[in-house]
């Protein structure tokens, strides 16, 4: 396992040596690999490697600082409100902002279909959403009451949002949990373009619901949280980078954050993003959270957000076994082809 991480880091070091900075690319070349992205994934590789070799934590802070200074990455800030600071991250206008590290480059005619996959099935009769992947009650309750990221991330029954230029109240006929992911809804907020006669930010074919919004795979906020985690894991104070993330959304500082604080902040900041929540739980050893049942809300009157709701189990407990499920099995055919030089993954 550690040999694999060593090879990953070696490859990323070579990539960073050869690649240009993002700022050197013209508009048509954005989305190509660049130095800050290579450094960012080195940070992530070290964090994963550290579960087997704790000395790797010490390599993260300086590399995170390099991404800031040489890579010129920074949080989006300075908007009218803390909520708008965070909402701006997930907007088409900021696909290539200072917060960008790496993403699925998208467009109305190609790229990530994820915004359409999480949209209400059949899109309330306006656009062909698919209706998969809903947030849970557990995620909703993780947020502090004053955290604006919750509303930006999650739609609950009755919440106001703009859809094809018209404000409406959220309800669902297909959500199992009573929630919908809100982070990637900006492309659907636009009305009809006068020249095109349609919403030009989305694919007109709902069977391929790509949008002009990039899907973030790594943001500078995650780099800050990896730095905070590395400092905490090496007995230092991770308040600086962790509180930079909190301050952007108007939350008060934590003087000497613990790993529990780090886990909370990582979940709230990066919720519903492509940031490997399951892998986080595995590397932290939080197997009980993997196996816990998950819940949602059931309103007494269907599609009536004003009616009382009860909490119900929507996904039953799983059976993750860390002695077996930490890694995938190797194909028996590959073991046979190697003349048994390859050994089966323990537990399989």
Q: Are residues 87 and 131 in the same domain?
A: no
Higher pLDDT pick, 1 / 34: 34
Domain boundary residue, one of 265, 285, 305: 285
What token pair was written down for 4?
């694999």
Q: Report residue 304's pLDDT band, with 50, 70 and 90 as the boundaries.
A: confident
3-state secondary structure of 140: helix
Q: Are strands 166-169 and 100-104 parallel, antiparallel or unpaired?
A: unpaired
334, with CB counted inside 10 A (0-12, 13-18, 19+), is exposed
* 320 part of a folded domain: no
Q: Are residues 12 and 161 in the same domain?
A: no
Q: Are residues 8 and 152 in the same domain?
A: no
Predicted pLDDT of residue 222: 98
Predicted pLDDT of residue 78: 86
* 68 part of a folded domain: yes
Average pLDDT over residues 248-268: 98
* 41 part of a folded domain: yes
> CB of 95 within 8 A of CB of 103?
yes
* 101 part of a folded domain: no
Q: Are residues 193 and 246 in the same domain?
A: no
Q: What confidence tens digit (pLDDT) does each residue in 128-177 have?
A: 999 999 999 999 999 999 999 999 999 999 999 999 999 999 999 999 99
> CB of 238 within 8 A of CB of 260?
no
- pLDDT reading at 208 higher than 70: yes
Average pLDDT over residues 328-338: 95
- Closest listed residue to residue 221, CA positions, set 57, 99, 61, 46: 99
Q: Are residues 197 and 128 in the same domain?
A: yes
CA angle 246, 238, 85 (to 5 degrees): 20
Q: Are residues 169 and 268 in the same domain?
A: no
What token pair was written down for 294?
């998950």
Q: Are residues 51 and 83 in the same domain?
A: yes
Q: Are residues 185 and 272 in the same domain?
A: no
What's the whole-model pTM score? Answer: 0.95
Q: What confidence tens digit (pLDDT) does each residue in 21-72 have?
A: 999 999 999 999 999 999 999 999 999 999 999 999 999 999 999 999 999 9
Domain boundary residue, one of 213, 243, 271: 213
- pLDDT reading at 303 higher than 80: no
Average pLDDT over residues 200-220: 94
Q: Are residues 115 and 261 in the same domain?
A: no
- pLDDT reading at 194 higher than 70: no
50, with CB counted inside 10 A (0-12, 13-18, 19+), is buried
Rounded to whole angstroms, the Cα distance separating 225 from 245 reads 8
- pLDDT reading at 224 higher than 90: yes
Range of the domain at 46: 2-93+217-285
Helix (H) or strand (E) run with residue 38 in it: helix 35-49
Q: Are residues 226 and 252 in the same domain?
A: yes
Q: Which residue has the tokens 């492509």?
A: 274
* 149 part of a folded domain: yes
* 304 part of a folded domain: no
- pLDDT reading at 97 higher than 80: yes
* 293 part of a folded domain: no
Predicted pLDDT of residue 215: 96
Q: Are residues 132 and 226 in the same domain?
A: no
CATH number of the domain residue 60 falls in: 1.25.40.390
Query: In this structure, which long-range contacts are made by residues 195-204, counting pairs with CB atoms below 8 Å and at least 24 apart in sequence?
Result: 199/164, 200/108, 201/92, 201/108, 202/108, 202/116, 202/127, 203/108, 203/109, 203/116, 204/108
Higher pLDDT pick, 196 / 206: 206
* 166 part of a folded domain: yes
Bridge partners of residue 76, in order along the sequence: none
> CB of 245 within 8 A of CB of 224?
yes
Domain count, the chain: 2
Rounded to whole angstroms, the Cα distance separating 285 from 267 reads 16
* DSSP per-residue string spanning 235-300: TS--HHHHHHHHHHTTPPP-SS--HHHHHHHHHHHHTTSSS-HHHHHHHHT-HHHHHS-EEEEEES
Q: Are residues 230 and 82 in the same domain?
A: yes
Residue-wise burial string across 275-288, b where 16 or more C-beta atoms lie within 10 A, e elsewhere: bebeebbbbeeebe
- pLDDT reading at 195 higher than 80: no
**What rounded mean pLDDT belongs to the chain?**
95
Q: Are strands 166-169 and 179-181 parallel, antiparallel or unpaired?
A: unpaired
- pLDDT reading at 1 higher than 90: no
Domain boundary residue, one of 234, 258, 285: 285
> CB of 237 within 8 A of CB of 230?
no
């Amino acid at each position: 396992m550690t040999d694999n991480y060593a090879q990953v880091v070696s490859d990323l070091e070579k990539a960073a040596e050869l690649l240009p900075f993002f700022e050197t690319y013209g508009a048509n070349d954005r989305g190509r690999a660049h130095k800050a992205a290579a450094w960012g994934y080195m940070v992530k590789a070290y964090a994963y490697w550290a579960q087997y070799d704790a000395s790797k934590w010490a390599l993260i802070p300086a590399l995170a600082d390099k991404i800031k200074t040489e890579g010129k990455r920074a949080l989006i800030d300075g908007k009218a409100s803390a909520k708008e600071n965070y909402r701006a991250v997930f907007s088409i206008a900021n696909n290539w902002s200072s917060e960008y590290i790496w993403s699925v480059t998208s467009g109305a005619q190609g790229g990530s279909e994820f915004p359409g996959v999480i949209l209400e099935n059949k899109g309330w009769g306006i656009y062909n959403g698919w209706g998969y992947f809903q947030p849970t009650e557990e995620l909703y309750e993780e947020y502090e009451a004053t955290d604006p990221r919750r509303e930006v991330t999650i739609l609950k029954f009755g919440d106001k949002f703009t859809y094809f230029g018209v404000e409406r109240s959220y309800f669902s006929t297909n959500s199992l949990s009573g929630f919908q992911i809100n982070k990637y809804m900006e492309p659907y907020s636009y009305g009809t373009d006068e020249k095109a006669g349609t919403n030009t930010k989305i694919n007109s074919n709902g069977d391929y619901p790509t949008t002009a919004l990039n899907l973030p795979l790594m943001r500078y906020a995650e780099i800050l949280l990896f730095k905070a985690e590395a400092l905490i894991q090496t007995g230092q104070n991770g308040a600086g980078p962790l509180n930079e993330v909190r301050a952007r959304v108007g939350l008060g500082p934590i003087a000497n954050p613990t790993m529990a604080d780090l886990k909370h902040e990582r979940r709230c900041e990066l919720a519903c993003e492509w940031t490997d929540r399951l892998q986080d739980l595995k590397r932290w050893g939080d197997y009980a959270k993997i196996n816990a049942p998950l819940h949602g809300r059931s309103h007494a009157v269907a599609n009536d957000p004003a009616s009382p709701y009860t909490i119900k189990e929507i996904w039953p407990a799983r059976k993750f076994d860390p002695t077996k499920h930490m890694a995938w099995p190797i194909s028996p055919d590959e073991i046979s082809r190697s003349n048994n030089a390859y050994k089966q993954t323990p537990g399989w």
